[in-house]
Amino acid sequence: MKTTIVLVLISVFSLAICGPKLIYAQQQILTLDEALSLAEEEGSLKGQYDHAREAARQDLLLQKADYWPTLQFRVNLSHANEAPRIPVEFENDTALARQGTRNTFISRLELSQMVYDFGKTRHAVDAARMQTQLVSAEYDQQHLQLRRQVRRFFYQSLYYQKLDSVYAEVLPLARELARIHDVRIQNGVALSAEALEARVTLQNIMSQQTVARNEYRRSLVQLASLTGRQHINFETRGPLPAGPGRQELSGLHARLYQEATELRADIGQLQVKSRQQAALAKSIEALKYPTLILQSDFSYFGPEAFGYYSGLSSRGLDPVNWRVGIGFTYPLFDGRRIQSQKNRALALQKEYREQAYRLERQISSEIQAALSHLENLYVLAGQNRLLVDQSEANIATAEQALAYGNISRMEYLKIMMAKTSAAAALLKTKSDIAGALLDLETTVGKEITRTWHTP
């Protein structure tokens, strides 16, 4: 019995001590590559643009259908309430007589083929083909935007996760110092001001750590939404992107500008839209000219269609006939509809072309501003790194002074807090660099941060 009680107590004690660690160990580790793969496999974006591509493809086939002949089969079956009458001549007079049956049967096979339309169909096909390009470009743009969102929230989660660790490093000392001062106050040894300072320091650390943990969880919620997860049963692991380095920034502007003008999806879409409107204008212009059409039909008239009277026979009337010919349509007056549609297409063509040109001019200044912002962040990161190194050196000196009793534990905590503040500032600068790189990536129009990772 005693052995059982001891085992139960040991189990409860082990669960109390190791339980949080065991639960933490059950969390799935999510890397950046895995998050990106899950977001792409989630399927909502791909499914949406699959339907858009199919609609554009069907529209292209619809425009191409004008190249092919149209074949129709018609059947006419009719029944009259009274047989029709036809004039019949007699020797001295003319009278109306019934013409056989009241039922009629006629079948007809009709063929129509466009011969020439002055480029209307060809330019309409070109415009429809460009629409498929627009859909693909839109998908590429949204796909890159999705990947940027995943990386942005992933980097945010890494930042707040590391920030939590920074505060967790100094938290035990702050708690111990606050407890010691509380005990001293109860014993009437320490001044209340020292205890208040220790308690305020502890509360500041705990509140900042709570904010970091809440923001970390919020980032995980966003990642779960983007990756199609219903539960937050994972934690992120990986490095923050460090960028190309301050020394390399000066040579990046020309290369990034060239890549941006070639790869920016919005510029490419505007250029395609401009060409599409030009093709539509040519297709509309062709409506002013005649369209030549080859027409033919093959007809069969049932016996009842000829009718009969008394001894009259339908002999000599061929029930099968055919015809072939060329016709054309020509708009004589349309109230300037064609000209207005053409002018509208040309106006849109110029508008899209001007928008693309304006974006190309803005890219250079946007890239320069982004690179300047990165350079400032690199300078700030270097300063914060020096502060961290200096704080670590001060801590090493303070540990020796504390061991010899030359400084108090409260003074040692202040030195630790200085190092914590410097580490938090450095971490914030690294997070800002990651965000600035994503903004630069948006300006350029392609992923450029994946090759700039550092531990």
Which of 401, 450, 396 shows the shortest CA–CA distance to 419? 396
Instruction: Using the predicted structure, report yes or no on whether residue 12 has a pLDDT greater than 50.
Output: no
Mean pLDDT of 171-199: 76
What single letter denotes the amino acid at residue 311? G
Work out the mean pLDDT of the chain and round it to a whole number. Answer: 81
Using an 8 Å Cβ cutoff, are 238 and 158 in contact? yes
When pLDDT is cut at 50, 70 and 90, the band that residue 166 belongs to is: very high
CATH class, 138-287+333-455 region: mainly alpha
Using an 8 Å Cβ cutoff, are 270 and 355 in contact? yes
- Max CA distance (Å), the chain: 152
**pLDDT given at position 432:** 93
pLDDT digits (tens, 9 = 90+) for 391-400: 999 999 988 8
- Comparing 208 with 245, which gets the higher pLDDT? 208
Q: Phi and psi for 68 in degrees, rounded to 5?
A: -95, 155
pLDDT digits (tens, 9 = 90+) for 336-362: 888 999 999 999 999 999 999 998 889
pTM across the whole model: 0.74
Please tell me the distance from the alpha carbon of residue 265 to that of residue 260, in angstroms, as a whole number. 9
Which of 191, 214, 155 shows the shortest CA–CA distance to 432? 155
Instruction: Using the predicted structure, report yes or no on whether residue 242 has a pLDDT greater than 60.
Output: yes
Instruction: Using the predicted structure, report yes or no on whether residue 14 has a pLDDT greater than 50.
Output: no
pLDDT digits (tens, 9 = 90+) for 203-241: 999 999 999 999 999 999 999 988 887 777 888 988 888
pLDDT digits (tens, 9 = 90+) for 289-339: 888 888 888 887 665 554 443 333 444 556 778 888 888 888 888 888 889
**pLDDT given at position 3:** 47
Q: Phi and psi for 298 in degrees, rounded to 5?
A: -130, 120
**pLDDT given at position 179:** 83
Which of 49, 145, 13 shows the shortest CA–CA distance to 439? 145
